[in-house]
Amino acid sequence: MKTMQAYRFALDLTAGQERDVLAHAGAARLAHNWALARVKAVMDQRAAERTYGVPDGQLTELVSWSLPALRKAWNAVKADVAPWWAQCSKEAFNTGLDTLARALKNWADSRSGKRRGRPAGFPRFKSRRRGVASVRFTTGAIRVEPDRMHVVLPRLGRLKLHESARKLARRLEAGTARIMSATVRRDGGRWYVAFCVEVDRAERGPARPDSVVGVDVGIKHLAVLSTGELVDNPRHLAAAQQRMRRLGRALARKQGPDRRTRQRPSNRWQRAADRLGRAHARVANLRRDGLHKLTTRLVREHGTIVVEDLNVTGMLANRRLARHIADAGFAEIRRQLTYKTGWNGGRLLVADRWYPSSKTCSGCGAVKTKLALSERIYTCRACGLVLDRDLNAARNLAAIAAQYNTAGSGPVSGRGADQKTRPSGQVAVKRQPGTALAGKTGTVPPQGGTTDHALTMRIR
């Protein structure tokens, strides 16, 4: 199975190498800003002409913002715009033009309705101080040295790694991987190189293919599994909050930048900002490491994993819980489970957003109309079940997979439950693309319940 995979390594650059990388990042920023100014000038001119009543057929001709068109226009003027262009790799300028072409396409598709999700705004000019320095290489000499502690990139030469690249080197030597591109980026005061690799992964299977686990994510416990396991929430951001506040106060006492007066920040302000940035980067790295370990363990052990389709954006609107929800990383857990189940031969089922997993009794299938968030113990009035609220929800999620397996022809297409919970709800299940049974229909009763509480499932 061939798939695209990223390998990210920290770099230990010398002062000269860092200047070279910054020069390439500056070249990318220059090409981006030049092309954006060119496109914006034509659009503003056409808007001004319309105000004077100029017919559409006589307006200034539009400028194509595809990557080939932008690259052709840049090559025609690069000697005048950047006389030093030969000192940097052509990939640096291509990086800036490519990011602009993608941003303009996303903006146009968002306005026309072709792009789903949040509306994409019009691209902005990149700043040398506020922007993130990065450059992407797609051609030229890109390789890992035999000592596995150095990489070679075009025009930048031989760069030392902070850690061994043995995992990537083994695949390259075995012929099961091919480097497609390499991106050098500064993040949290440290430089990284990320390789986009086409990997030929061997067919794998989970340790227990028939095992089904429901995963209910939360704040008190990061994840509650239907097996009864409680995964503690490390709360990395809360643990580092005191230090971040101290660094933030120290930063506020320094002379920072002021756009109104064009005041440049002092060196002490810059050093304080770097310290605060490193603290935030450490929290992000700890969170990423913990989530990767959790999701990898789940997909390697269980054949079927069931999660909820949470409205994380809406949950972040709660100002009392927004920080804790963002610190837990609910969306990242689902994102990692999505591609890791495909890598390991498992499957991921996503319950509908309005499926009342917490309000439904995992024993008899009865559904409560209301369940306050403060009620942490679920008590069923129908069968007398007393169970932890999150564990009850996790068992309901696992039961969805069991019902899907026992359904004769599969789930029935339906919208699922709405915002108002009824005594007999509907279960909607979304299975990830690439499955053979997607689109089949059928009706199944809930586990341990009767046909009066029949649950309808679907696969999208």
Structural contact between residues 183 and 194, judged by C-beta atoms closer than 8 angstroms: yes
Are 175 and 294 found together in one domain? no
In the chain, % of residues over pLDDT 70: 88
Band of the pLDDT at 131, cuts 50, 70, 90? confident
Band of the pLDDT at 400, cuts 50, 70, 90? confident
Whether the per-residue pLDDT at 451 is higher than 90: the answer is: no
Mean pLDDT of 161-178: 94
pLDDT tens for each residue of 212-263:
999 999 999 999 999 999 999 999 999 999 999 999 999 999 999 888 898 9
Q: Cα(326)–Cα(308) distance, rounded to whole angstroms?
A: 17
Amino acid sitting at position 442: G
| Catalytic one of 20, 91, 98, 308 | 308
With the C-alpha atoms ordered 51, 52, 56, 60, is the resulting torsion angle positive or negative? negative
Mean pLDDT of 117-128: 91
Examine residue 326 and state whether it is found in any structural domain, yes or no: yes
Examine residue 159 and state whether it is found in any structural domain, yes or no: yes
Cα 205 to the chain's mean position, in Å? 25
> Could you give the 3-state DSSP secondary structure of residue 211?
strand
Are 93 and 174 found together in one domain? no
Are 162 and 58 found together in one domain? no
Band of the pLDDT at 151, cuts 50, 70, 90? very high
DSSP output for 315-331: HTT-TTTHHHHHHHTHH
pTM: 0.81
The DSSP output letter for 389 is H
What is the per-residue pLDDT for 384?
A: 86
Q: Cα(286)–Cα(264) distance, rounded to whole angstroms?
A: 33
With the C-alpha atoms ordered 7, 10, 14, 18, is the resulting torsion angle positive or negative? positive
pLDDT tens for each residue of 350-366:
998 888 889 999 888 88
Examine residue 436 and state whether it is found in any structural domain, yes or no: yes
Whether the per-residue pLDDT at 302 is higher than 90: the answer is: yes
Residue 379, C-beta contacts closer than 8 angstroms, at least 6 positions apart: 385, 386
What is the per-residue pLDDT for 365?
A: 87
Q: Cα(9)–Cα(165) distance, rounded to whole angstroms?
A: 7
Tell me whether residue 12 is one of the annotated catalytic residues.
no
Tell me whether residue 109 is one of the annotated catalytic residues.
no
Q: Cα(312)–Cα(318) distance, rounded to whole angstroms?
A: 10
* Closest C-alpha to 396, from 446, 353, 444: 446
What is the per-residue pLDDT for 420?
A: 55
Distances (CA, A) of 183 to 178, 192, 203: 15, 8, 29
In the chain, % of residues over pLDDT 90: 64
Between β-strands 221-225 and 177-187, what pairing exists: parallel, antiparallel or unpaired?
A: unpaired
Domain count, the chain: 3
Mean pLDDT of 286-305: 95
Examine residue 268 and state whether it is found in any structural domain, yes or no: no
Examine residue 313 and state whether it is found in any structural domain, yes or no: yes
| Catalytic one of 20, 91, 216, 352 | 216
Are 298 and 185 found together in one domain? no
Whether the per-residue pLDDT at 407 is higher than 50: the answer is: no
With the C-alpha atoms ordered 412, 414, 418, 422, is the resulting torsion angle positive or negative? negative
Whether the per-residue pLDDT at 421 is higher than 70: the answer is: no
* Closest C-alpha to 447, from 256, 270, 306, 267: 306
Q: Cα(410)–Cα(429) distance, rounded to whole angstroms?
A: 11
Q: Which domain holds residue 429?
A: 210-233+277-453
Are 226 and 193 found together in one domain? no
| Catalytic one of 91, 327, 352, 390 | 390
Whether the per-residue pLDDT at 266 is higher than 90: the answer is: yes
Amino acid sitting at position 35: A
Q: Which two tokens stand for residue 66?
A: 């595809």
Examine residue 239 and state whether it is found in any structural domain, yes or no: no
Please name the helix (run of DSSP H) or strand (run of DSSP E) that holds residue 67, with its range, or none. Answer: helix 67-81
Are 6 and 22 found together in one domain? no
Q: Which two tokens stand for residue 52?
A: 């004077």
Structural contact between residues 182 and 193, judged by C-beta atoms closer than 8 angstroms: yes
Tell me whether residue 308 is one of the annotated catalytic residues.
yes
What is the per-residue pLDDT for 429?
A: 54
Q: Which two tokens stand for residue 279?
A: 């603290």
What is the per-residue pLDDT for 422?
A: 53
Whether the per-residue pLDDT at 431 is higher than 60: the answer is: no
Band of the pLDDT at 18, cuts 50, 70, 90? very high
Residue 268, C-beta contacts closer than 8 angstroms, at least 6 positions apart: 254, 255
What is the per-residue pLDDT for 447?
A: 38
Whether the per-residue pLDDT at 25 is higher than 70: the answer is: yes
Are 65 and 148 found together in one domain? no
Band of the pLDDT at 58, cuts 50, 70, 90? confident
Whether the per-residue pLDDT at 438 is higher than 90: the answer is: no
Are 157 and 104 found together in one domain? no
Q: Which two tokens stand for residue 64?
A: 């194509």
Whether the per-residue pLDDT at 423 is higher than 70: the answer is: no
